[in-house]
Amino acid sequence: MSSGDSKSQISLGFLTVVDSGDAGCVGGYLILNSGGRPLEFHCTAPVRANRAQQILYGESLTPFVFGELIARALIDKAAIKPSLVFADQVETLCVQGLTQLPVAYLAGESDVSGRSSRHRFEVKGFQLEIASQFEAQTEILSRYVHRFTETIDLDEPFSRIRDAIDEAQRGARAA
């Protein structure tokens, strides 16, 4: 396998959740090749916590819904297992204990949400957080990010996902 072939095999996942209030939360998961082209996309139906769950889960409700329900379902459903999954909401990181894939939170520069259970590092100006269990993989994950950012901004796929979710919801309302 040539180095060009190995580069084409790198895929990265991007995961976000759109909270539409009373309509529920919809998750989207986009897997891209190193050129930024889509390989696979999935989105969930709206997920809505009932009143009992809201009371019982308290402040842990959002991580439960975003990570354990939505993120886990999307990652499990995908046929492609990317080298790394990026999330733009810290609440989705609780999926890390439910998947073997490294999931990195793409933190903002001013975001200081890092906890002792996560390792924070910077690559090409992006602040990333991963579960401490993946800290030894920081160098290889950094290489994936370097290769990928040659062709696309890491923030950009999240807007594609949100636009695709909006389009799916418009189509569902029209049907």
Q: What is the pTM of this model?
A: 0.87
Question: Where are the alpha helices (H) located in 10-99, listed in sequence order?
Answer: 51-57, 61-63, 72-77
pLDDT tens by residue, 72-110: 999 999 999 999 999 999 999 889 889 888 899 998 765
Give the span between the Cα atoms of 125 and 80, in whole angstroms.
28
* pLDDT reported for residue 8: 47
Give the number of residues written for the chain: 175
First-to-last CA distance in the chain?
47
Output the pLDDT for position 6. Answer: 40
Does the CA dihedral 26-61-79-100 come out positive or negative? positive
Q: Nearest CA to 69 among 77, 80, 59?
A: 77
pLDDT computed for residue 109 by the predictor: 60
Identify the residue whose tokens are 């379902």. 73
Longest dimension (CA), the chain: 56
Mean pLDDT by 10 residues, the chain (175 residues): 48 94 92 94 94 94 94 96 93 88 81 68 88 84 87 92 91 72
Side chain identity, residue 167? E
**Is 44:78 a contact under the CB 8 Å cutoff?**
no
Of 28, 8, 26, the closest CA to residue 161 belongs to 28
Specify the DSSP class assigned to residue 64: I
CATH numbers and ranges of domains, the chain? 3-168 (3.30.2170)
Give, for 141, the enclosing helix (H) or strand (E): helix 138-148
